[in-house]
Structure 1
C-alpha cells in the first residue's frame, strides 16, 4: 500500500462516515433478479440473528464505494434497530468488527436466524434464471419487445448452471431494413434481466416450444403466429 493510499485511509478513519443504502429502489428497477426478504421473514427476526446490510463509505474508498456486510441484531424498536457489525470491512477503516450500527427493517437485504429456528412460511417466489437470446437494444436502449418465439433449447452447455430456455426475443424492428436488423447485437442472459426491461410478455413465459408471438402496439397484446408467419430468420 502506497503512502497516498495510507494517508487517504487515515483521513477516512478519523473524519470518514458511513451510511446504509436503501435497497428498495434497486429492487423496484430489477424485480425479477434482485430479491429482498419478505416482510414476514423480517418480522420474525430476534436479537442475536444476523442481517446483511449495504454499507456505503463517505468518502468512497479507492477500491469500493460500499460493502455488503453482516450485523448481529442487538435491539429491535419501532424507532429503529441497532446491531453490531459482524464482519471486518475490506476497505472501510471508519468501521470495524463490533461497531454499532443503526438501521431500519427496510435496509435488510438478507438474514440468518440464530440456531435452528426455521423461517416463517411465505408466498412461493418464482425466479427466472434460465437463459434466453435477446436483442441487446432491449436491455441497453429500452427498445420494447416486439417478437418472441421459443425454439428447441440449443445454446447452453451441459455444465451451465442455468439451462437455455429456448426463448428468442426481438426488439421492435418495424422501422429497420434487413441489413440493420441483421446487424443488431444479441445477449445470452437470464430471462429475468429481459423481464426487468420489459415484462409485457410474462404471461406467455410457459408457452411451449414452437410458440411465436408478435406484439400489437395498438392493443398492447401479443398475437400468435403460425409457421407461415414465423419471423425467426428475420
Structure 2
C-alpha cells in the first residue's frame, strides 16, 4: 500500500477558537459546491515539512457524493514531495476553507465583510494574552493612513484594571493588531464598533458598557 504524502487539516477547531480572524464557508455556501467548483484546502506534508506547517492549495472538484468529494490539485506544492498538480485528492466538505466562485451570482451571494475584522486597533497585551478581560474602550482619530490595506479603526482597548495588579497594569505593553484578534479573546464590545470617534465606554460589573463623559 502506498504511504500517504499528505494529510488534510480540519479547519473547524481553528475557526472555533478564532471566529473573527479565521473564515470558513457557511453551510449554505458549501451546499453549492459541485463538480467544476474550485475549493481551497489545507495540506500538511507526511512526514512533516521542515519549511511549512501547512500549505493552502486549490482543488478542482470532479465528483461529489454527499459530504465526500474527489478533485484534482490545481497548485504546485512548495514542499510536499510526491504530490503534484493534477493529482487526485479525496476530501470531506468540512475540509474546505474557501471557494472560488466563477458564477457572478454565487460570488455576489456569498460575498463577505469578513475582512472588516482585520482593520487595526491598539490593545493592552494583557487582553490578547487572556490575562484580563476588556475593561475600557474608546475611539480616537486614527493614527494611520486610511489607504493602508488594513486601516486604523481608532479603537483603543484597555484591560480591566480589577483583574491586574497595579504594576501589571502600568507595565503591560500594547500592540497594534487586527480588531478581530481582540474579539477572539473578548467580544463583549463588538456591538459598540460603529460608535463615532470620541466615544468612551466603561465595562460595568454587570458586563454591560456605560457611556463615559469627558469629565469622568
8 Å CA contact 1:16–1:94 kept in 2: the answer is: no
Q: Count residues with an aligned counterpart.
A: 212
2:130 counterpart (125, 138, 141): 141
Deviations 1:79-137 (A, max 9, x none): 511111111211011311222111111111112235x5531625864532221110011
C-alpha distance in 2, partners of 1:63/1:192? Answer: 28
The aligned counterpart of 2:89 is: 101
State the alpha-carbon separation in 1 of the partners of residues 146 and 100 from structure 2.
33
CA 162–65 in structure 1, closer or farther in 2 if over 3 Å, else same: closer
Contact 1:69/1:86 (<8 A) preserved: yes
TM-score relative to the length of structure 2: 0.88
1:11 matched residue in structure 2: none
Q: CA deviation at 1:162?
A: 2.3
**Distance in 1, Cα, partners of 2:100 & 2:30:** 10
1:227 corresponds to: 214
Q: Hey, what does 2:203 align to over in structure 1?
A: 215
Q: 2:71 matched to which residue of 1?
A: 83
Q: Report the Cα distance in structure 2 between the residues aligned to 1:16 and 1:62, rounded to whole angstroms.
A: 17
Determine whether 1:119 maps to 2:128.
Answer: no
Q: Map of 1:24-43 to 2, 5 A cutoff?
A: 24-43=12-31
If you compute each CA radius of gyration, which structure gives the higher value, 1 or 2?
1
The 2-side partners of 1:100 and 1:162 are apart by 37
Checking the alignment, whether the CA contact within 8 Å between 1:131 and 1:165 is kept in structure 2 is yes
Whole-Å separation in 2 of the counterparts to 1:77 and 1:142: 46
For residue 46 of structure 1, the aligned residue among 34, 40, 46 is: 34
What are the equivalent positions in structure 2 for 1:152-231 lying under 5 Å apart?
Answer: 152-153=141-142, 155-157=143-145, 159-174=147-162, 175-177=164-166, 180-217=168-205, 219-229=206-216
Aligned-pair distance for 1:46?
A: 2.5
Structure 1 unaligned segments of length 5 or more: list them: 1-13, 230-234
Q: What is the TM-score normalised by the length of structure 1?
A: 0.82
Shift of 1:74: 0.8
Structure 2: unaligned runs, 5 residues or longer:
none
- 1:201 is displaced (CA, Å) by 0.7
